Chains A and B, each alone.
Chain A
Amino acid sequence: QKEVEQNSGPLSVPEGAIASLNCTYSDRGSQSFFWYRQYSGKSPELIMFIYSNGDKEDGRFTAQLNKASQYVSLLIRDSQPSDSATYLCAVFSGGYNKLIFGAGTRLAVHP
């Protein structure tokens, strides 16, 4: 059973701080990794994806991938209250574009 694990949180950070969200996955053959943000009562929206080991930056967001250790993380710099949401990690592990989702980490950014 391929699994994607995330700490459910809530992760509470002060405004302006760096929020660090982590995700581990069980399938060593996993190839592609996605981060989605989901506000309460809304649907998931894509933030970014990463395929290669290392860091990928997009604005205030940085995804970090370490395939040897089987984890992927999302850093949010200069956190804002509007970043308060649940962040979903999704992993592609073969099959026809089949993504395996974690249960999500709830982030709370307080002023």
Chain B
Amino acid sequence: ETGVTQTPRHLVMGMTNKKSLKCEQHLGHNAMYWYKQSAKKPLELMFVYNFKEQTENNSVPSRFSPECPNSSHLFLHLHTLQPEDSALYLCASSQNPQIAGGVQAQYFGPGTRLTVL
């Protein structure tokens, strides 16, 4: 595997279900991100992790729960979602800017297309 991978690629769930999205990066990066992309709207940053520590929570509802066990893996646990949560969920990674020196480009995985019924 190369780059950033995400599973599953498609997910349909009911509002009472609990599911998890998985992201893995093979780039040797140490910062990881979750984004939400809805139709016709800009990418919305949800969470940022640097060296497994959460450094940004962009006022995301508690029904989304991130987990970062190490610098290569990132999860997004989902429970009691709403239909308006249906979107493309993208994971990205980058070098930590404080270590690499300056802002670092982010590289995206293929995304999980989530539909909440």
A residues near B (Cβ < 8 Å) are: 4, 8, 31-32, 34, 36, 42-46, 49, 51, 88, 90, 92, 95-104
A102–B44 alpha-carbon span in the complex (Å):
10
Q: 25 A–B contact pairs at CB < 8 A?
A: A4-B42, A8-B40, A31-B103, A32-B102, A34-B106, A42-B111, A43-B108, A44-B43, A44-B90, A44-B108, A51-B102, A92-B103, A95-B56, A97-B48, A97-B50, A97-B96, A97-B97, A97-B103, A97-B106, A98-B45, A98-B48, A99-B106, A100-B42, A101-B42, A101-B43
Interchain CB contact under 8 A, A97 and B104? yes
Interchain CB contact under 8 A, A43 and B90? yes
A76–B90 alpha-carbon span in the complex (Å):
26
Residues of A within 8 A of B31 (CB): 96-97
B18-65 with Cβ < 8 A to chain A: 31, 40-43, 45, 48, 50, 55-56
Interchain CB contact under 8 A, A43 and B110? yes
Number of chain B interface residues as a range: 20 to 34
Interchain CB contact under 8 A, B102 and A99? no
A42–B113 alpha-carbon span in the complex (Å):
10
Residues of B within 8 A of A98 (CB): 45, 48, 56
Interchain CB contact under 8 A, A34 and B105? yes
- A96 interface neighbour in B43, B55, B88, B108, Cβ under 8 Å: B55
Interchain CB contact under 8 A, A49 and B105? yes
A43–B108 alpha-carbon span in the complex (Å):
6
A49–B97 alpha-carbon span in the complex (Å):
15
Interchain CB contact under 8 A, B110 and A103? no
Closest B residue to A32 using CB positions: B103
Q: Does any Cβ of A come within 8 Å of B107's Cβ?
A: yes
Residues of A within 8 A of B102 (CB): 32, 51
Residues of A within 8 A of B104 (CB): 97
Closest B residue to A42 using CB positions: B110
